[in-house]
């Protein structure tokens, strides 16, 4: 394990980074919040990674691996040879070891943060939070071995101007704006991923979107409610919602009134030319 170098700052207007003022890993229950997202999306992620060929003999890199659900499923279900799980804070990965799982504590925005080339490079719900995302896509592409694949997944916001105002849409808009200001999160880039992968020299580029159903008590509904709770201060600071509005949005999510689209997960992939 390598010590995290936090000397780097992004371009969030507030100057903050993921895991500091918002989503600190030391805050009780942060691993559960990440796991709610994993419950909502892991099956879709695994189906795509397997369709792209992830299996025996593959050496994989999971960037911003969080609690490591995808890393461990790659080993246990897809039977890959190894996974290097990288995160700026590896406490959740260290708590759940698995044979073939190597853990590296590193800030992926730092030059030379990760050694080597891999058959699969995967980053889910990470680049959207990092202001350096455009440069990082090129860097991650360099970590793909010839014949290997880079797979990026991030959120797409489906609340448009035509979406009727509900507690849910008000909370979502405040959340995206609040995260943008405090830590530099920006999901407006995500639909550009296929083009950015192509510009990084990758071929056979593809993309798909999955939108989990917002049903009361579902993992994705619990994920959003918990995410709003943890980013409440950033949301209130936008002036787009007040505390009663956030509470109303949480109640709305848990009610039969709820009739809304979750943010979707866009997954985009591209291959490095050459023989594996
Ligand atoms: C929303 S979680 C996603 C976790 C996992 N990829 C998943 O989809 O379940 C984002 C993860 O990225 C990590 N992360 C954020 N910034 C990072 C950075 N600069 N370098 C490495 N990891 C980072 C966080 O610590 C966190 O574990």
pLDDT tens digits along 153-175: 999 999 877 777 899 999 999 99
Q: Look over the chain and give the mean of its residue pLDDT values, rounded to a whole number.
A: 93
Instruction: Determine if ligand 1 sits within 6 Å of the CB of residue 184.
Output: no
Q: What ligand 1 atom has the least distance to the C-alpha of 25?
A: 25
Instruction: Determine if ligand 1 sits within 6 Å of the CB of residue 125.
Output: yes
Collapsed DSSP state (helix, strand, coil) of residue 210: strand
120, with CB counted inside 10 A (0-12, 13-18, 19+), is buried
Binning pLDDT at 50, 70 and 90, where does residue 8 land?
very low
Q: What ligand 1 atom has the least distance to the C-alpha of 37?
A: 9
Instruction: Determine if ligand 1 sits within 6 Å of the CB of residue 87.
Output: yes
Angle CA(47)–CA(58)–CA(32) in degrees, nearest 5?
50
* 220/161 Cα distance (integer angstroms): 23
- Sketch out the chain's domains with CATH numbers: 30-157+186-213+262-271 (3.40.50.150)
Is the pTM of the predicted complex or chain greater than 0.85? yes
User: Is residue 122 predicted with pLDDT exceeding 60?
Assistant: yes
User: Is residue 181 predicted with pLDDT exceeding 70?
Assistant: yes
Give me the pLDDT at residue 16, please. 86
3, with CB counted inside 10 A (0-12, 13-18, 19+), is exposed
Torsion angle defined by CA atoms of residues 275, 64, 42 and 248, in that order, rounded to the nearest 10 degrees: -150
At a CB cut-off of 8 Å and minimum separation 6, what does 274 contact? 146, 147
Closest CA to 123 of 102, 135, 108, 103: 108
At a CB cut-off of 8 Å and minimum separation 6, what does 164 contact? none
Angle CA(54)–CA(219)–CA(97) in degrees, nearest 5?
50
What are 17-42's pLDDT values in tens digits?
999 989 999 999 999 999 999 999 99
């Amino acid at each position: 394990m390598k010590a995290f170098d936090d000397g780097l700052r992004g371009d969030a207007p507030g100057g903050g980074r993921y895991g500091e003022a918002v989503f600190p890993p030391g805050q009780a229950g942060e691993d559960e919040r990440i796991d709610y997202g994993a419950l909502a999306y892991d099956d879709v992620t695994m189906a795509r990674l397997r369709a792209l060929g992830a299996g025996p003999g593959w050496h994989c890199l999971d960037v911003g691996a969080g609690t490591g659900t995808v890393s461990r499923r790659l080993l246990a279900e897809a039977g890959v040879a190894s996974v290097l799980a990288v995160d700026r804070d590896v406490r959740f990965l260290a708590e759940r070891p698995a044979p073939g799982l190597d853990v590296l504590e590193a800030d992926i925005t730092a030059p030379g943060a990760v050694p080597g080339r891999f058959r699969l490079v995967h980053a889910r719900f990470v680049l959207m939070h990092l202001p350096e995302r455009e440069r990082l896509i090129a860097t991650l592409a360099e970590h793909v071995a010839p014949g290997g694949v880079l797979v990026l997944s991030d959120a797409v916001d489906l609340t448009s101007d035509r979406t009727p105002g509900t507690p849910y849409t008000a909370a979502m808009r405040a959340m995206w704006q609040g995260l943008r200001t405090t830590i530099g999160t920006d999901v407006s880039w995500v639909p550009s991923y296929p083009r950015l992968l192509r510009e990084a020299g990758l071929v056979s580029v593809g993309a798909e979107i999955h939108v989990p159903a917002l049903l009361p008590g579902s993992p994705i509904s619990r994920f959003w409610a918990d995410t709003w709770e943890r980013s409440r201060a950033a949301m209130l600071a936008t002036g787009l919602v007040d505390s009663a509005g956030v509470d109303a949005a949480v109640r709305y999510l848990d009610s039969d009134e709820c009739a809304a689209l979750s943010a979707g997960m866009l997954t985009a992939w591209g291959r490095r030319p050459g023989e594996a």
